[in-house]
Amino acid sequence: MEGAHRVLVKRLDPRSHLPSYESEGAAGADIRACLDSPLTLAPGGRGRVPTGLALAIPAGFEAQVRPRSGLAAKNGVTVLNSPGTIDADYRGEILVILINHGSEPFTVNHGDRIAQLVFAETRAMSFGESSSLPESGRGTGGFGSTGV
């Protein structure tokens, strides 16, 4: 990809698969399970699924771990902490927390596409304490305050 930032990938398991964009316009790169044996998630069950990969994300970026729409639509399986954040300074194995919201057990096999990575720029902020905040059009309106 022309103009793309480079993310270094370390295979922690030789059977692991590199992240891959499955279409030319894909925003997310699919990541796959790296398992010694199948992992079955009971209805309502959750599990940490290893990928066998570690990443070196460029400074100023994060990788967001997002669900795959096909798993959610067909099986009710999604990423529990969606989107999960992988910080640029994390070098451990990428694990994906899946939850089965479906009514049937769901089995994850080695090599299954389980989630996708979307990279986003980040910016650190400084925090300054204040006894008051500037007014805004929304004010303190919280959940559901802007409409149905």
- Domain 8-121 in this protein, CATH class: mainly beta
Residue ranges in 4-79 assigned as alpha helix (H): 69-75
pLDDT above 70 (res 3): no
pLDDT of the residue at 1: 55
pLDDT in tens, 50-90: 999 999 999 999 999 999 999 999 999 999 999 999 999 99
- Is the Cβ–Cβ distance between 89 and 41 less than 8 Å? no
Nearest CA among 48, 136, 123, 109 for reference residue 84: 48
Instruction: Judge if pTM exceeds 0.95.
Output: no
pLDDT of the residue at 114: 98
pLDDT in tens, 8-60: 999 999 999 999 999 999 999 999 999 999 999 999 999 999 999 999 999 99
The alpha carbons of the chain give a radius of gyration, in whole angstroms, of 19
- Is the Cβ–Cβ distance between 75 and 106 less than 8 Å? yes
pLDDT of the residue at 42: 98
pLDDT above 70 (res 2): no
Name the residue ranges covered by the structural domains of the chain.
8-121
- Is the Cβ–Cβ distance between 62 and 84 less than 8 Å? no
Percent of the chain at pLDDT > 70 equals 95
